[in-house]
Amino acid sequence: MNITALRDAHERIRPHIHRTPVLTSATFDRETGIEAFFKAEHLQKIGAFKARGALNAILRLEADTAARGVVTHSSGNHGAAVAWAAARRGIPATVVMPHGASRVKVDAVESHGARVVRCAHGEREATAEAEVASTGGTLIHPYEHPDVIAGQGTATIELLEDVGPLDALVVPVGGGGLSSGSAIALAALAPATSLVGAEPARADDAYESLGSGRLVPGRTDPDTIADGLRAGLGPTTFEILRSAGPQIVRVEDADIVEACRFHLLFMKQVVEPSGAVATAALRSIAARMPGARVGVVLSGGNTDLGWL
Amino acid sequence: MNITALRDAHERIRPHIHRTPVLTSATFDRETGIEAFFKAEHLQKIGAFKARGALNAILRLEADTAARGVVTHSSGNHGAAVAWAAARRGIPATVVMPHGASRVKVDAVESHGARVVRCAHGEREATAEAEVASTGGTLIHPYEHPDVIAGQGTATIELLEDVGPLDALVVPVGGGGLSSGSAIALAALAPATSLVGAEPARADDAYESLGSGRLVPGRTDPDTIADGLRAGLGPTTFEILRSAGPQIVRVEDADIVEACRFHLLFMKQVVEPSGAVATAALRSIAARMPGARVGVVLSGGNTDLGWL
């Protein structure tokens, strides 16, 4: 995969997505001593960057393949993104969601007309495969998919276009789709910019995998508030990230909550815990890179009011 | 007062304030059948449009007058705006706040280096006058002040520049500073645009005053969640609004809460109850003006997490 795939993805999805704004906070910059540029993907279609990758993958399907529909498994934003993108293309979508998925996420998927199939915890992949077999649809994996990765990387293209050179770019790491796409964008467009992956300390398989040089499976049922980052890297994202060599910063849940609070009170923005993990990593980065220009992807904003 | 005062104010304050973005919501437009353009003044300096008027008034002071400082009374955003604007100019500020003012609002004022003087409820104006007498400072009234009104009107100038012709503009009404400034802007720049004032039903003195043609005092201690809109019109704002003849829409607290909820969940924006009153009025406006292009001022975003 290279920058051409990302450029093509950007041309393909641009008419349908928001070019999200870049937000800044004088308060944050004063407190940390860095200049932070927050790419507001919580204001993206469906409230998360996931709209980019899902739409790119679905628009790339040949007409006859697309007509049989798409299938995915997700307890969160990727499910809504696939449902939304399929509706854009006018094709059926099936989203496999575990019984524990929150009502608000199920509602989001159904609001786009997708069919929701519930399954037991731990049976998501098998259930999705069964749906693929029975419907003839195409699986749109949340991150182990080159078109999804290329789509996610388009956020970094926009950020670099809008703010110019950066010393570092910080993105949350779960399955690795966003970080892999960002790595490909930086390698071509801003090789001097350091990529930093922010990972919940309680779901730090990327830290372990990239540190040890071999793919460690995601933890079973990790207990972190960043529910969108519980997945582990896959073979594709592991290889891309191993080659890119990002620094991985592990952040505690308390710092994630504090980052959400900062976004709410000082920036008036609703950012979900998984979406604020990169912000939570900034203070340790600021200590090592005083005065740096740092891009930060606010990856999503879908949370329920109860949590707030 | 006329558009020249607003243009001058805009030139004066522009280097110091944010040109706030205009937000839209496809979900909202689909549900209501109008096209709504939300001027995001909750993202303004100090989190409210009040920064505009206070700064304009304070920058307009002659140097020797300014050196003696400024005084105001406010339990809310105007106090923070005066404190912030005085700090910009490097002059002392005294803000009279009633004992009931929330800790977060007192902290905001103090964070800009202003002196806070607490007073009993109902003694705000007298206490502020005593401070003027003892300090020699200048009173910056929250709305009965032409420079404050001119500053508030600059938000409408920006909105019209950014989105073009509007069928209606909806702004919250408390003391009438924002609505008066908006009326002056519309009269000169967009005379075909209807001005709509949105007022909490439990603090509807503007509705009564403009309906009866004589200034009715603000209610004593109105019990509405929109704490920034409890003040009544003053002689200056009453005269400007009487001449402009806006329609006043009264909104119930339950609809204000629902509007806040909409902004949080669908737009990922933290808008305080007083700031969401115009949104709360939109559904009744939509019923009468299907397909209209409607500007809406989200006037502030300062709220505590407890309320959320």
- With a cut of 70, say whether residue A131 has pLDDT above it: yes
Q: Which of A196-205, A273-282, B77-86, B97-106 has the lowest mean pLDDT?
A: B97-106
* pLDDT recorded at residue B307: 65
* pLDDT recorded at residue B222: 85
- Taking residues A16-37, what's their average pLDDT? 96
* pLDDT recorded at residue A122: 84
- With a cut of 80, say whether residue A75 has pLDDT above it: no
* pLDDT recorded at residue A308: 66
Among the listed residues B290, B291, B220, B222, the one whose alpha carbon sits nearest the alpha carbon of residue B250: B222
CA distances from B111 to A164, A265, B15, B140, B200 (A): 32, 14, 22, 19, 30
Answer whether 0.90 is exceeded by the pTM: yes
Provide the 10 A C-beta neighbour count for residue B24.
15
- Dihedral through CA A193, CA A196, CA A197, CA A202, nearest 10? 180
Helix (H, G, I), strand (E, B), or coil: what is residue B301? Answer: coil
**What is the distance between the terminal CA atoms of chain A, rounded to a whole angstrom?**
39
* pLDDT recorded at residue A304: 78
Cβ–Cβ gap A268/B264 under 8 Å: no
Q: Which residues contact A8 (CB under 8 A, 6 or more apart)?
A: A150
Helix (H, G, I), strand (E, B), or coil: what is residue A120? Answer: coil
Residues of chain B with Cβ-Cβ distance to A47 below 8 Å are 268
**Is A87 within 8 Å of chain B by CB?**
no
* pLDDT recorded at residue A1: 86
User: What sign does the dihedral A83-A84-A85-A87 (CA atoms) show?
Assistant: positive
Nearest to A270 among B43, B47, B268 (CB): B268
Q: Which of A79-88, A220-229, B153-162, B235-244 has the lowest mean pLDDT?
A: A220-229
Structure tokens belonging to residue A168 = 């570092």
Provide the 10 A C-beta neighbour count for residue B110.
14
* pLDDT recorded at residue B304: 78
Which one of B105, B112, B264, B268 would you mutate to disrupt binding with A, by most A Cβ within 10 Å of its Cβ? B268
Quick check: is A50 catalytic?
A: yes
Given strand B93-98, what is the order of strands in its sheet? B115-119, B93-98, B70-73, B138-139
* Cα distance between residue A85 and residue A60, in whole Å: 11
* pLDDT recorded at residue B52: 98
Element (H, E) at B196: strand B194-200
DSSP states along A163-189 = H---SEEEEE-SSSHHHHHHHHHHHHH
* pLDDT recorded at residue A220: 79
Residue pair B215/B233 in contact by the 8 Å Cβ criterion: yes
CA distances from B299 to B51, B198, B282 (A): 11, 12, 15
Structure tokens belonging to residue B99 = 């004992």
Strand partners, A296: A38, A170
From the list B39, B45, B50, B105, the catalytic residue is B50
**Is A113 within 8 Å of chain B by CB?**
no
Place of tokens 């009564």: B208
Cβ–Cβ gap B268/A308 under 8 Å: no
Nearest to A269 among B21, B265, B268 (CB): B268
Percent of chain B predicted with pLDDT > 90: 89
Quick check: is B274 catalytic?
A: no
Q: Which residues contact B137 (CB under 8 A, 6 or more apart)?
A: B68, B69, B70, B71, B92, B94, B131
**Is A19 within 8 Å of chain B by CB?**
no
**Is A245 within 8 Å of chain B by CB?**
no
- With a cut of 70, say whether residue A238 has pLDDT above it: yes
Burial classification of residue A9, based on how many CB atoms lie within 10 Å of its CB (0-12 exposed, 13-18 middle, 19 or more buried): buried
* pLDDT recorded at residue B100: 81
Cβ–Cβ gap B268/A21 under 8 Å: no
Cβ–Cβ gap B261/A47 under 8 Å: no
Cβ–Cβ gap A264/B308 under 8 Å: yes
Among the listed residues A191, A182, A171, A192, the one whose alpha carbon sits nearest the alpha carbon of residue A248: A171
**Is A308 within 8 Å of chain B by CB?**
yes
Q: What angle do CA B145, B151, B153 make, to 5 degrees?
A: 105
Q: Which residues contact A40 (CB under 8 A, 6 or more apart)?
A: A20, A21, A22, A23, A269, A298
A196-218 in b/e form (b: 16+ CB < 10 A) is bbbbbbbbbbbbbbbeeeebbeb
Specify the long-range contacts of residues B185-189, CB closer than 8 Å, at least 24 apart: B185/B3, B185/B6, B185/B153, B185/B154, B185/B156, B185/B157, B185/B160, B186/B156, B186/B244, B187/B3, B187/B244, B188/B2, B188/B3, B188/B6, B189/B3, B189/B156, B189/B157, B189/B160
Nearest CA in chain B to A20: B23
* pLDDT recorded at residue A234: 97
- With a cut of 80, say whether residue A150 has pLDDT above it: yes
* Cα distance between residue A2 and residue A6, in whole Å: 7
Structure tokens belonging to residue B134 = 């003892």
Cβ–Cβ gap A270/B269 under 8 Å: yes
Helices (H), A136-171: 146-163
* Cα distance between residue B215 and residue B238, in whole Å: 7
* pLDDT recorded at residue A307: 65
**pLDDT tens digit at each of 308 positions of chain B:** 899 999 999 999 999 999 999 999 999 999 999 999 999 999 999 999 999 999 999 999 999 999 999 999 997 899 999 999 999 999 999 999 998 888 888 999 999 999 999 999 889 999 999 999 999 999 999 999 999 999 999 999 999 999 999 999 999 999 999 999 999 999 999 999 999 999 999 999 999 999 999 999 988 788 899 988 989 999 999 999 999 999 999 999 999 999 999 999 999 999 999 999 999 999 999 999 999 999 999 999 998 777 66
**Is A265 within 8 Å of chain B by CB?**
yes
* pLDDT recorded at residue B51: 98
Query: A222 pLDDT band (50/70/90 cuts)?
Result: confident
* pLDDT recorded at residue A227: 87
Query: A110 pLDDT band (50/70/90 cuts)?
Result: very high
